[in-house]
Amino acid sequence: MRKRLRKKKHLCEFKEFGCELIIERNTKSDYKEFMYAFIDDAIEANDCYCGGGGKEDHWEFIVELGHKDDNPEQRLKQVCNWLDSREDVKEYKTGELIDLWYGEFSDD
């Protein structure tokens, strides 16, 4: 397959990786500040993208971690390190890395 088509179909070297991220906070206060800090300091600072949402103390996201050459495992580790440093995060859970275009998605 030609490179142009591989890029258009997100195949081979253009495959985009990501994972599910579930965050439980130990407080319901300051959720807007938490969300802004999460997006600025954990997601955008590591050149990632995310989609999802939740409420004050429970958040669910799909985090796009980039291509294989972008070292998605390291990006996920940096996001997790940011979550570890937060006192208002009770716990978080990450799913396994999946192909965001063609991967196996859980029904959970």
Give the pLDDT score at 64. Answer: 96
| Total count of domains within the chain | 1
Structural domain includes residue 47: yes
Structural domain includes residue 108: no
- Provide the percentage of residues in the chain whose pLDDT is more than 70: 96
Distance (Å, whole) CA 101 – CA 16: 7
Q: What confidence tier does 106 reach under pLDDT thresholds 50, 70, 90?
A: low
- 52-68 pLDDT, tens digit per residue, is 988 889 999 999 999 98
Give the pLDDT score at 10. Answer: 84
Q: What is the pTM of this model?
A: 0.85
What CATH number did the domain enclosing 86 receive? 3.30.70.100
Residue 91 scores a pLDDT above 90: yes
Distance (Å, whole) CA 62 – CA 4: 27
Tell me which residue range forms the domain holding 78.
13-99
Structural domain includes residue 83: yes
Distance (Å, whole) CA 14 – CA 87: 37
